[in-house]
């Protein structure tokens, strides 16, 4: 099941993902951080 995840606009067209905080199969909660981006 795919779910759309919205990312806040940080004022750049492209950003680099520096860390992925969840693994495939992990259950996530509302407002849980999923990635860290360089900005």
Give percent above pLDDT 90 in the chain: 44
Look at residue 38 and give its three-state secondary structure. strand
- What's the confidence (pLDDT) of residue 33? 93
- What's the confidence (pLDDT) of residue 4? 85
Of residues 32 and 8, more confidence is placed in 32
Q: Residue 8: is it exposed, middle or buried by C-beta count within 10 angstroms (0-12/13-18/19+)?
A: exposed
Residue 24's alpha-carbon distances to 13, 14, 16, 20, 27, in angstroms, are 27, 24, 20, 11, 9
């Amino acid at each position: 099941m795919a779910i759309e995840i919205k990312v806040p606009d940080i004022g750049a067209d492209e950003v680099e993902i520096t860390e992925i905080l969840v693994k495939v199969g992990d259950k996530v909660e509302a407002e849980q951080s999923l990635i860290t981006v360089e900005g």
